[in-house]
Amino acid sequence: MIKKQQIVILVGIIFFVLINNYICAQVETIKLALFDTPYNEMPLNVPLLSEYEKNYLAGVEAAAQVAKAANINIVYKPFFYGAGPLDVLSEISKVQEWQPDLIIGPGASDQFLLLKNYIFNTMVLSSYASDISLTTLPKNFYSVNLPDVQVSSLLSQYIHQQYPQKNIYVITQIDSKECVDASDLFINSYHKISPATKITQNKLILDNVSSIDSKKLMTGHEQDIVVIFNFTYYGYSVLIRHIAASFPKSNLIFFSNQDDWNDKGTDRPRKNDNLLYQSYRIGPVIFDSNDLDYKEFENAYYKLYHQEPVDSVSFMLYLTVMSVVKALIQFPPPETYQGMREKILYSYTQALKYDPTWFRLKYYAIYQLTPQGEVLITKFAV
């Protein structure tokens, strides 16, 4: 009797080990390099930088949580670089030495474009890059963000619709290729809609906003619609406050094409709107309760942090990671593919053949800044 029990126990142990080994064999690991910088979005302010990094990584953690259900284990390592436009280059060798299966970042188009000369056989994804030159990149580069050419078209249509009789004053950050490219796209798009509209462009270096003579900058343009193409939404906010301080009674109207990484826009009406100016931006609809991807993200985020997500950067990083997970599931690579890097390249290439706008958000909106936060003014499909 004892021997029979021992045999049963032994068989049970062997079965458990075999099943466990089988399950473990099915779990695949993705080595993910997060190759980006918080300095593009925020000033040298430690609390704000820490908040940005925390919410950036929270999106990756949420994606890793969801990926487990598909037997995919995500191991990530941040490679955050400095504020200089070429600081990204100093980290490339470190990323290459780690030999990731997947790279996410940079968010800035200028820096994303630089990587084409260094990264060849690894999928490189960006959550925010949008410059028109991205179309010239090799097939292993892709951004889940809407290209500037489409954003510029949407923005020009909205402004002309709302202010058909107004002149346009474009302020462009000259030391950023993506800002110059985006402003040119906007001007061309607006001229197609309204050839008779007067459009004036002023190209500036915007690294020291406090030194800018606002009255000189705005002379003759106080009644124009001011469209600013600069590197970050934070920088845009600082600039318009600086300009508006010199025109407290003019009710200047500003527009930006920049995403705001840390504001949860809402369509609830606001009261006590007593800003000295009007500020609008165009950006994706992030917190959409009707979107299945967002619902999945929200559930995973809540399980991890026991609160609802509040910053859009978390969802954008989640979306970027999940675009790979879903590609692997929907377009599984042949069994002959052994390495995860090769599997991702195959599956993502197939996903883009199936849908060239793979995992890009389908709705954009115009948001207005109020003292209490942002308000969603209007939404349109893209």
3.40.309.10, 3.40.50.2300, 2.160.10.10, 3.30.420.40: CATH of 52-143+290-354: 3.40.50.2300
Give residue-wise pLDDT tens across range 282-326. Answer: 999 988 888 899 999 999 999 999 999 988 899 999 999 999 999
Per-residue pLDDT of the chain (382 residues; tens, 9 = 90+): 445 455 545 544 543 443 344 344 489 999 999 999 876 544 445 455 577 889 999 999 999 999 999 999 999 999 988 877 788 898 999 999 999 999 999 998 999 999 999 999 999 999 999 999 999 999 999 999 999 999 999 999 999 999 999 999 999 999 889 999 999 999 999 999 999 999 999 999 988 888 999 999 999 999 999 999 998 888 898 999 999 999 988 999 999 998 765 554 444 444 445 678 999 999 999 888 888 999 999 999 999 999 999 888 999 999 999 999 999 999 999 999 989 999 999 999 999 999 999 999 999 999 998 888 889 999 999 8
Q: Does 52-143+290-354 match 149-287+363-381 in CATH topology?
A: yes
- Report the C-alpha gap between 337 and 345 in whole angstroms: 10
Question: Taken in order 285, 286, 287, 288, is the CA torsion positive or negative?
Answer: positive
- CB contact at 8 A, 148 and 185: yes
Residue 344 makes CB contacts below 8 A (sequence gap 6+) with 30, 101, 102, 123, 324, 327, 328
Give residue-wise pLDDT tens across range 39-77. Answer: 654 444 545 557 788 999 999 999 999 999 999 999 999
- Report the C-alpha gap between 134 and 191 in whole angstroms: 24
R_g over Cα of the chain: 24
- Report the C-alpha gap between 21 and 86 in whole angstroms: 46
CATH top class, domain 149-287+363-381: alpha beta
Parse the chain into domains and list their residue ranges.
52-143+290-354, 149-287+363-381
Cis peptide before 38 (omega within 30 of 0): no
Surface-to-core class of residue 187, CB atoms within 10 Å of its CB (0-12 exposed, 13-18 middle, 19+ buried): buried
